[in-house]
Structure 1
Amino acid sequence: MVTAFFAGCTQSTTTTATPAATAAPTAASTPAATPVATVATAAPTTVATTATPAPTFTPSRTNIVAFTAASLTGAAPTIASSFNAAYPPDTVSFDLDGTQALKTQIENGAYADVFISASNSYTNTLTKEGYLVPSTVKTLTTNYVTVILPASNPANIQSLSDLAKPGIKIAMAANTVPVGTATTAVLNNLANDTYSQSWKNQTISNVVTYETSEPAVATKVSLGEVDAGFVYQSTANAAPSGTYQSITIPKKDNYLQTYTIAIVNQSQNKAVGSWFEQYMLSAAGQNILAQYGFTAP
């Protein structure tokens, strides 16, 4: 499968892995982190909308289709190869997109075996609607929000307070995207505990683009189209050294995003889907997530 890790598209990363037996998985070696993609996204000040495509995948006894939150883009190739090493010869294809887009695609009939969400709300909705197997819904991992800057830091941003300076250009995700909701919560926390409402209002007024996925925000920063962007800690960690500068948000003001994993009701390959879920929840899967900046469930 050809993989495209960008917002607004249905991306799929094919990897291999299928259990001939139910033996406990073993961790595989972890390759270098995948660079953040550099493809231009929607023009600034425009809130893009993600079209829901017709179903792309068809059921396969040897391939798991995992509709996965786009913030796992960096970790996906490593997860895929490691799962394949533990469970040959099955494969896993990652369709990476904003969680809100993946939810809509499932509701519109797109085929998936596994759903990995960056928001409990979307998981809860799909479960209530009958699209997920309730007993398989599990907490997978967590993620904090951070601020990234272009490597050259042309706006000379030295602290969170500088985000409110006139002329600063900021990218963040729309509130329909999990990281967008998390960013809004962070701004509210910072305004209430450390800075002020005027700081928050000025920072928000500096937002020049709202993106439909978390990697799209990172792309804006890596291309130098904005001076700063709010992304997950995992995205900053997955980028090669020298890609970004970053400003850490104190945990007392931060927002801990919870990711969930579940088997999709329509899956015709629930056995292998279950093995994949077990692998992701095992020490091997959790170690890979930790290497890419995710935190424990």
Structure 2
Amino acid sequence: MLTMAQGARRAAGEGPRMQRVPKAGSTLRGLAASLAALVCVCAGTARGAEAVLDIWAAASLREPIGQLGRRFEAQSKDRKVNLVFGASSALAQQIESGAPADVFLSADDVSMDRLQANGFVKPQTRRVFASNQLVVIAARELTVPFSGPNDLLRPEVKRIALAAPEVPVGRYARQWLASRGLSEAVKARSVLLGDARAVLVSVDSGNADAGIVYATDARSAKTARIAFPVPDAEQPYIVYVGAVTVGGDQPELADEFLRLLVSPEGLAALRAAGFRPPPAASPPADAP
């Protein structure tokens, strides 16, 4: 935040020997000159200021939103993009607590629905822009055959990394496990983590034997491998949705960025990062 420079210094007095009372006219002229100088200082500060756009996005969007944020910033020397990534549920909670976000990009519609219901986002700006896919990953050290959901129950698979249930990818993973009748068995072996990236790091480092993450996150694995993708017919309804927040400092820039996100250029960046096209407007009746 820019601070305004002090416009004038106080003149030094001559001591108590003699005090001169200024004429009214000279006082008014001096006041007008001081005000004019202050206006010039303010105008110069405003002209030199950058408009900072705060974009808060799901952790899984780090690659494409980082890329689009840099493109958006480069379009004008008078704008700057500040990116904050994290679990959608945690970001939404912070926005409800007054965090200074201009754009919210969520990995689910649940977090966005809550913000909209409580008046924290502008409904008319809401955009569905992508989908994703769940995959099961395995640690390099896990050498037993591992190609289907029942392999999660092998005795060699002692620790299964999952994002917390309030986190979108954690909720999606549990929906799939429930549809396969594996919830309780996997729960006994589960290690709870903050988001999909944390799950990936846990399996990469060998602290967990397996985990369930987005396909886009698995692309950046260092040592972990994709054991198998969740079949399309079993995929939960995964949706990414964005909106302009209420009370943000840059509503016009926020709306402009959302337009970039859903433009051919934005969708191409998402596709290049492994995201799927936006799903239908609402989940099918038999969605898990």
Q: Same fold (TM over 0.5)?
A: yes
* TM-score range for the pair, normalised by the shorter chain length: 0.7 to 0.9
Structure 1 segments (4+ residues) deviating >6 Å: none
Rate the CA distance shift 1:154–1:203 in 2: closer, same or farther, 3 A. same
Residue 138 (structure 1) aligned with residue 138 (structure 2): no
Aligned residue number for residue 164 of structure 1: 153
Matches within 5 A, 1:1-297: 61-86=50-75, 89-168=78-157, 169-189=159-179, 191=180, 197=181, 199-207=182-190, 209-237=191-219, 239=220, 244-297=225-278
- Greater per-residue helix proportion: 2
* Alpha-carbon displacement from aligned partner over 1:267-294 (angstroms, at most 9, x marks no partner): 1211111111100011111111111111
Deviation at 1:152, TM superposition (A): 4.8
Aligned residue number for residue 12 of structure 1: none
Deviation at 1:158, TM superposition (A): 3.4
Deviation at 1:144, TM superposition (A): 1.4
Rate the CA distance shift 1:81–1:240 in 2: closer, same or farther, 3 A. farther
Q: Please give the alpha-carbon distance, in whole angstroms, between the structure 2 residues aligned to 1:176 and 1:117.
A: 13
CA contact (8 A) 1:221 1:228 kept: yes
Rate the CA distance shift 1:184–1:122 in 2: closer, same or farther, 3 A. same
How many corresponding residue pairs?
Answer: 229
CA contact (8 A) 2:147 2:227 kept: no
Q: Please give the alpha-carbon distance, in whole angstroms, between the structure 1 residues aligned to 2:144 and 2:78.
A: 50
CA contact (8 A) 1:166 1:206 kept: no
Deviation at 1:160, TM superposition (A): 2.5
User: What letter corresponds to residue 188 of structure 2 in structure 1?
Assistant: S
Deviation at 1:163, TM superposition (A): 0.6
Identity of aligned residues (%): 26
TM-score, length-scaled by structure 2: 0.74
Q: Please give the alpha-carbon distance, in whole angstroms, between the structure 1 residues aligned to 2:138 and 2:111.
A: 30
User: What's the secondary structure of 2:233's corresponding residue?
Assistant: coil
Aligned residue number for residue 16 of structure 1: none
Q: RMSD of the TM alignment (CA)?
A: 2.0
Deviation at 1:90, TM superposition (A): 2.4
User: What's the secondary structure of 1:229's corresponding residue?
Assistant: strand
Runs of 5+ unmatched residues, structure 2: 1-48, 279-288
Deviation at 1:200, TM superposition (A): 4.5
User: What's the secondary structure of 2:54's corresponding residue?
Assistant: strand
* Alpha-carbon displacement from aligned partner over 1:243-264 (angstroms, at most 9, x marks no partner): 5334111011111311110001
CA contact (8 A) 1:236 1:246 kept: no
Deviation at 1:123, TM superposition (A): 0.7
Deviation at 1:148, TM superposition (A): 1.4
CA contact (8 A) 1:74 1:235 kept: no
Deviation at 1:218, TM superposition (A): 0.9
Q: Please give the alpha-carbon distance, in whole angstroms, between the structure 2 residues aligned to 1:200 and 1:175.
A: 12
Rate the CA distance shift 1:240–1:81 in 2: closer, same or farther, 3 A. farther
Which deviates more from structure 2 when the two are superposed, residues 62-71 or residues 277-286?
62-71
CA contact (8 A) 2:138 2:225 kept: yes
Deviation at 1:79, TM superposition (A): 2.2
CA contact (8 A) 2:146 2:227 kept: no
Rate the CA distance shift 1:288–1:88 in 2: closer, same or farther, 3 A. farther
CA contact (8 A) 2:50 2:78 kept: no
